[in-house]
Structure 1
Amino acid sequence: MYSALYSHINRFIDLSTDEKEILASLLKSFSFKKKAFLLEQGQICKANYFVVKGCLRLYFIDIKGAEQTTQFAIENWWITDLTSFIFQKPSEFYIQAAENTEVIAIEQHHYEEMFDKLPKIERYFRLILQKNHQASQRRIMFLYSFTAEERYHHFNGLFPGFVQRIPQYMLASYLGFTPEFLSKIRAKK
């Protein structure tokens, strides 16, 4: 049932069969239809989500009322509003399914229990958070040092299949420009 997650974990640490059973007792599986919300602004984020199939996005509404996508999660990626999740404070973000999506969730009330029962998992999450932080830093650097067109071509080069999967307005929001500008870039091909 949790084979995709176990495979991902095994890229970073080794879990025994007994440890996998303990972990399984703390996890839940969910399916979400496209456009469904896992979290809305003002709610407290209750889970960290591992995407088995599909795509989720994290976004906020800016002062002009526009959606600003800050993160996507596709297969084998984690997504949460970490601040809301860890500190149990109301979120400033939304988490929405960009496609029909299947996830494995570790709920907040099981988080410390998971670390207590499975100390190796703490290392796994530390490594995942380090990779996530590095990706966030690079994204910020690209937003400030690349032109809009360079950002699109760089992202498309890294994730060519993903660019075709998500709606144009979500991709444009993530890359920091309008859907109309994205249409112009794509028309230049």
Structure 2
Amino acid sequence: MFEMLFEHLARFVHINEQEREILQARLRYKKVSKKDFLLKQGQICTGNFFVLSGCVRLYSITDNGTEQILQFAISGWWISDYHSFQNNIPSTYNIQPVEDSEIAIITRSDSDELFQQIPVLNNYFRLLMQRAYTAALRKMELLLVTSAEDRYFQFVNNYPEFVQRVPQYMLASFLGFTPEFLSMLRAKGRSANHS
């Protein structure tokens, strides 16, 4: 059930059989349908979520009531509101599946103990945070210095699996423009491919 998570771990660090058993005993499994929530705005985030299958999004609701998607996670990716998780404070985000998903969860109450029992997990999550930080900077750079059109086509080239799986209005929210603008860009891309 958690094999994908252990394969992901093995790409970054080595854990022995005893550590694997300790971790497996602490992992929670959850099947969530696409309208369920892993976290609602105002709740304290009590889990670090690893997507075993499906696709999940993290988003906030803007002052004018629209959704602003900040992150997606597909199979093999982690997602959480780390600020809420670490500081035990209410979240400003929602975490919700885009499609029916299976999730491995490390709860807040288990994480500190796991870090003590399996010290190499500290290295694993440090490496993941470094990668996430780099990705966040890259996204910020794209939003600030790249045209919306270039941003869309770069995303399509770098993450073609998302374009097929994620509803158009969600993709537009994530990339920082309207669904109508995205429709125009997609039409432009299709006509360019046919000429």
Match of 1:102 in 2: 102
Answering whether residue 120 of structure 2 is matched by residue 120 of structure 1, we say yes
Deviation at 1:26, TM superposition (A): 1.2
Within a 5 Å distance, the mapping from 1:75-154 to structure 2 comes to: 75-154=75-154
CA distance in 2, matches of 1:112, 1:104: 17
Q: Secondary structure at the match of 1:55?
A: strand
Answering whether residue 156 of structure 2 is matched by residue 167 of structure 1, we say no
Match of 1:2 in 2: 2
Match of 2:28 in 1: 28
Q: Secondary structure at the match of 1:143?
A: helix
CA distance in 1, matches of 2:159, 2:36: 24
Match of 1:59 in 2: 59
Q: Where in structure 2 are there 5+ consecutive unaligned residues?
A: 191-195
- What RMSD over aligned residues (CA atoms) do the two structures have, in Å? 0.7
Deviation at 1:65, TM superposition (A): 1.1
Match of 1:50 in 2: 50
CA distance in 1, matches of 2:99, 2:51: 11
CA distance in 2, matches of 1:119, 1:104: 20
Answering whether residue 30 of structure 2 is matched by residue 19 of structure 1, we say no
Q: Secondary structure at the match of 2:154?
A: helix
Deviation at 1:167, TM superposition (A): 0.6
Deviation at 1:63, TM superposition (A): 1.3
Q: Secondary structure at the match of 2:38?
A: strand
CA distance in 1, matches of 2:43, 2:169: 25
Deviation at 1:35, TM superposition (A): 2.2
CA distance in 2, matches of 1:19, 1:95: 29
Deviation at 1:154, TM superposition (A): 0.5
TM (norm. structure 1) is 0.98
Structure 1 stretches of at least 4 aligned residues deviating more than 3 Å after TM superposition: none
